[in-house]
Chains A and B, each alone.
Chain A
């Protein structure tokens, strides 16, 4: 893999951004021996505001902030936030994995801020020329497993299918096992698998090459 793989996880407070970033970091460090940095803010941003995690994986990682135009992958736990971050940080041939369930901010519901639907978001992303855009209905997939709370793990699973993603499915499962609450381990591992399968089938359908390291 390259010296550094940069990804960002964008969502809304309460969507499990923190566990998602930790699972990836744990997999990188403890399963694959790579260096890792996560930049996040806590506290007031957890209260329904936008939450961004910057995750840098590599052999020689220094600071935790991803320069603009460097991110290889955006995981949008929420599509408006996914778009916001892709716009600001995605590299020209980067990929986006997008949860399809829009969570409108209150001010949009009140008519004070613009409202965006999935179609408009998809349109903006297409115009940015993103070669790999994978849309996952993570909410539905998570509910099929028994809880909407597993959405974040569905999205991590989907991300693992993106060409160039440096970590193996096995490493991610081990990380989930280590970090999830006991009663959630089975469900979260299933969520990883479901997300990955869904993403792989979409990528194959769109003719994107899926053979890459770690698989």
Chain B
């Protein structure tokens, strides 16, 4: 969505934006010259938005094959004296860590900002991890914004700090900030042109590392001084409070809201921490000098809590430091406003000394604020069904998984093992397919499948991977499968794009246009000397199933690519609604279509017959369901036949 107001708006303009957009605006204000990364929720909007901005403003912005390549690309820009920004989700930092741990030993000539958008609670991730630790580990500064204005300003100043210290700077956001939409005020854009040129009069390597590492440590000893000129760390108190709350990054909002709601402003001192590394030790000591207890809010490790404990020890003051590690707050998962209010209330009860009268602490504006779930009494808890994520209507992966299960059954496989990976196709773990059995990191399916085949020689191992995952990290594993001649069937689910994160392009995306090349997966695996390679359309599951059966009979490694365009691509927006229907006289309510195919557009009549009908407003005409009914009750309506044929000609077999 074009954002002229965000890209070109003048300073002082107030507009609505998402946290990730605020970060892009900050980069634009700093005159960024390259933005890259790899898609990953909750970070994807950063590079997506930068790509749009780059078209208007003329800098470089594009997706990279994976986060390591992205970081190395940014390194090239920085070595040319340009300002570069790399963006990824928390696990992406794991992928680029090798490069990061060496760039930190080099005096970089251009500003390098690394944006890590962490996912506390892992709502869209496989794990939780706290990347403030990376800043400490890599010995670089970390900035942690608490709102959109800070996200913008910190991103902009991160380039300045990076060039001052000649070190990369980590901007650490969290999903709750990056995906928050709120009002933001724009700042001025740095219009100065930056000359980018690789200065060949020096070398750019950390080797041998001893002296560079000493230099790195010196830089970090200077860092608190450089950061002191910003107001991102703030002590809010009078020096008389017995209680304190120290809040890192976004959790400051909860600290503020909790204290306000409980009316405890006069009794609680707040410490806002916007630079978790290096931490504002002077302000921490100022707080610890007068309080008896400090509640520490942060996501998602006890990073700040441990620093406070360390400082309290240094001061030889017996201050109680309460947080995740001490058990006062949940030890994992994202900070919730409800937990904060509860914790503040209970800590206040434990540690406060009432002066005149006992004060009952209540929510000043919420005297009866309980939800039905919180009230004791007669309400019956509603029996609510879980709602799992599932494939979109018209998703090619639904058809592919259906074909896979059918093929596995027909082949009579003895206890096969199906390995999964990360992408939309991960939903093969869920109903109705439930066929995937393992999933760890990006591309891990391949190496995992290799050893699974070696340790379980009588069982067929099938490794499922997506197109983007294949390019990102799958290739080395497939190469090794080929090298070992392992009897693994690799099933590539190719929907043309990096779909889960918003349909971003990758090297296999079916572009026309000559600026970028397309390198098809089948060409790569053939070059890897995989002996059996097939490309089949996803849209005819019966034919795909037959191909899979044939391939399963061969010994040795095989790659089958099931190809079908993602349902959310613009080319599929011209949906052929209401194409499919069920012949009511043939449907006997067996529900096999629901249990084996499970398209959301299948509705069950509530007249007791259990007959299935197709929701016209949802069906988009992919017709993959056509032969999923044992009674042959599905058909394409006559009125849609011509449109359907055209739709199918466009999609079916076009890229195969």
Binding site for B on A (CB under 8 A): 2-4, 12-14, 21-22, 25-26, 29-30, 35-45, 47-50, 61-71, 80-81, 83-84, 86-92, 103-110, 112-117, 121, 124, 127-128, 139, 143, 148
B253 in contact with A106 (CB, 8 Å): no
Q: A14-B392, A22-B181, A47-B390 are in contact. Are A107 and B385 (CB under 8 A)?
A: yes
Check A48–B392 contact: CB distance below 8 A.
yes
Check A109–B388 contact: CB distance below 8 A: no
Q: Please, what's the 1-or-0 string for B371-413, where 1 marks a CB less than 8 Å from any CB in chain A?
A: 1111000111111111111111100000000000000000000
Contact B390 A92 (CB under 8 A): no
Say whether, besides A105-B387, A105-B388, A107-B388, A37 and B180 are in contact (CB < 8 Å): yes
Contact for A90 among B124, B371, B391, CB less than 8 A: B371
Cβ of A112 and Cβ of B431 under 8 Å apart? yes
Q: How far is the CA of A133 from the CA of B47 in the complex (A)?
A: 42
Given known contacts A87-B382, A106-B598, A124-B380, A139 and B617 CB-to-CB distance under 8 angstroms: yes
- A47 touching B341, Cβ below 8 Å: no
Q: Is B424 an interface residue (CB 8 A)?
A: yes
Choose from B368, B371, B600 the contact partner of A68 (Cβ within 8 Å): B371
Which applies to chain A's interface (DSSP): helix, strand, loop or mixed? mixed
Judge whether A109 and B602 touch: CB under 8 Å: yes
The answer to whether A68 touches B338 (Cβ under 8 A) is: yes
Give complex CA distance A160, B595 in Å: 40
Q: What would be 9 A-B contacts, judged by CB atoms less than 8 Å apart?
A: A36-B182, A37-B181, A43-B500, A80-B385, A105-B386, A106-B431, A109-B604, A114-B385, A128-B372
Residue of B nearest to A12 (CB): B387
Q: Are A63 and B431 in contact (CB under 8 A)?
A: no
Interface string of B494-524 (1 = CB under 8 A from A): 0000001100000000000000000000000
CB of A142 to closest CB in B, whole Å? 9
| Contact of B427 with A by CB under 8 A | yes
List chain B residues, Cβ under 8 A from A112.
431
Q: Which residue of B lies closest to A179 (CB)?
A: B1
Known: A22-B16, A22-B181, A36-B183. Is A90-B365 also a contact (CB below 8 A)?
no
> How far is A128 from B379 in the complex, measured between Cα atoms in Å?
7
Q: Tell which of B182, B336, B371, B391 touches A37, judged by Cβ atoms closer than 8 Å.
A: B182
- CA–CA, A50 and B384, complex, Å: 12
Interface: B315 (CB within 8 A): no
Q: B384 contacts A84, CB within 8 Å?
A: yes
B337 beta carbon closer than 8 Å to chain A: yes
- Main DSSP-derived SS at the B contact region: loop
Are B337 and A115 within 8 A (Cβ)? no
Determine how close the nearest CB of chain B comes to the CB of A107; give it in whole angstroms.
Answer: 5
Q: Across the interface, which residues of A come within 8 angstroms of B221, CB to CB?
A: none
Does A106 contact B390, Cβ atoms closer than 8 Å?
A: yes
How many chain B residues have a CB neighbour from A under 8 Å? 65
Interface residues of B (CB under 8 A from A): 14-16, 41-42, 44, 123-124, 175-176, 179-183, 253-254, 256-257, 260-261, 336-338, 341, 365-366, 368-374, 378-393, 424, 427, 431-432, 500-501, 591, 594-595, 598, 600, 602, 604, 606, 617
Q: Contacts A22-B181, A38-B182, A68-B373 given: A92-B368 contact, CB under 8 Å?
A: yes
Contact B390 A41 (CB under 8 A): no
Whether A63 and B387, one on each chain, are in contact in the complex, defined by CB atoms closer than 8 angstroms, is: no
B525 to chain A, nearest CB (A): 28
Given the complex, which residues of B lie within 8 Å of A81, measured CB to CB? 387
Partner of A29, one of B183, B341, B380: B183
Which residue in A43, A67, A117 is a CB contact (below 8 Å) of B41?
A43
Q: Known contacts A44-B389, A87-B371, A109-B594: does B380 contact A127 (CB below 8 Å)? A: yes
Q: Once bound together, how far apart are the Cα atoms of A13 and B70, in whole Å?
A: 31
Query: Which one of B124, B254, B432 contacts A41 once the chains associate, using CB atoms below 8 Å?
Result: B124
Give 12 A-B pairs besides A36-B183, A68-B371, A114-B384 with Cβ atoms closer than 8 angstroms: A14-B392, A22-B181, A41-B179, A44-B41, A49-B390, A67-B366, A88-B372, A109-B594, A109-B602, A110-B595, A114-B385, A148-B617
Which among B44, B371, B385 is the interface contact of A88 at CB below 8 angstroms? B371
Q: Of the candidates B44, B179, B387, which one forms a contact with A49 in the assembled complex, judged by CB atoms under 8 Å apart?
A: B387
Are the C-beta atoms of A39 and B41 separated by less than 8 Å?
A: no
B345 smallest CB distance to A (angstroms): 12
B41 proximity list for chain A (CB < 8 A) = 42-44
Q: Is the CB of B371 within 8 A of A69?
A: yes
Checking B16, B389, B594 against A26 with a beta-carbon cut-off of 8 angstroms, the contacting residue is B16
